[in-house]
Amino acid sequence: MKRYSAFAIAREAARYHTGWERAWAAPEPKPQYDVIVIGAGGHGLATAYYLGKNHGIKNVAIIEKGWLGGGNTGRNTTIIRSNYLQDPSAAIYEKARSLYETMSQDLNYNVMFSPRGLIMLAQTHHEVRGYQRTAYANALQGVKTEFIGPERVKELVPIIDITGPRYPVLGGLYQARGGTARHDAVAWGYARACSDMGMHVLQKTEVTAIRSDAGNVTGVETSRGFIGCKKLSIVVAGHSGHVAEMAGFRLPIESVALQALVSEPIKPCMDVVVMANTVHGYMSQSDKGEMVIGGGTDGYNNYTQRGSFHHIEETVRALIETFPMLSRLKMLRQWGGIVDITGDRSPILSKTPLGNCFINCGWGTGGFKAIPGSGWAMAELVAKGEPGPLAAEFGLDRFRQGRFIDESVAAGVAH
């Protein structure tokens, strides 16, 4: 694989860009792999990448029903933060945030990580107490956050109205090293690095059945024939329940759509990411000038990847109270992604009833920010057969034991 650099750009410009290679190969499947990863989204690709980088396992196939990064990885609002209350959550999200810091250099691919800062607004006295509690917990966890007052919020976000008629801004939980990254570039960078290690990225390859014998997976039936494996990793987000059913077990998750939209491009007006959980909306400004807006999940189970008028009305109406300038913008486009949600709003990285099968799911609305940390932890679980410190608390057995990691209550919102 040729390295990307300023010199490479200059060289290719001189020969009319005729020398660029494919970013990743399009191979035919082999009969057998050491590990098959189902799902070529961010989490699946990161799992494969860290299997190779950290554990030397490179005979790997990443199988994707559609196109690479075409699921939730390409359908999110790109927010990155780690200011969670519960210790296991803070640990894995902070690992992910720290890996984002050096990802462009590690992958030799610009993922456009922007540590522009993130504010979670406190618009009720209950939220003030909750975020102050989280700031104390983050200090103990080694996660750098602080609770700031409304004047500081206004200084960081000039377009905000802190005197709102129903929900005045009383402060905010500020993480200066939170921010955003380019979602597509994260998937493309991981795919390119995996391909360079000799791994096979198999797009347009649907898994139709999972074969097992004596309690262990032997391989998967696909639209391109049977592919054998020694270990299987299921990383398919909103379709986790469906694929787990193929393997013969059930998951404590439900799938719902999460919608988002962007406005027409405007001049730079907001440097940070803002989450307003009382009205359940969040917003940042993209490099192209669009206001990227998201809200809560749909209130019913579904597999829809489209937007709806109801979401626009609910989310934008609420945000306009805090950001009046939004009322003058036009919507450019809207979309939805399918997220899988657990009862405690925390993920599952776990062994399964099949001895050599592992599953990574349940990230709900917080999947993008976790990609590198999730891949790091999942690779360790697959390689060693037992969870490491990052994944230890996120096993399936916690639901049987009642040992929940309750981020729905702790964070006030699952994003």
Whole-structure pTM value: 0.95
Judge whether residue 410 has pLDDT over 90.
no
Q: How far apart are CA 285 and CA 412, in angstroms?
A: 23
308 pLDDT exceeds 90? no
Using CA atoms in the order 109, 115, 116, 117, what is the torsion angle rounded to 10 degrees? Answer: 150
Beta bridge partners of 348: 361
End-to-end CA distance of the chain: 36
Give pLDDT tens digits for 75-112.
999 999 999 999 999 999 999 999 999 999 999 999 99
User: Is residue 143's pLDDT more than 70?
Assistant: yes
Q: Within 13 A of 304's CA, how many CA atoms are on the CB side? A: 15
**Mind listing the domains of the chain with CATH numbers?**
26-78+183-252+344-411 (3.50.50.60), 114-178+255-342 (3.30.9.10)
156: left (phi over 0), alpha (psi -120 to 50) or beta: alpha
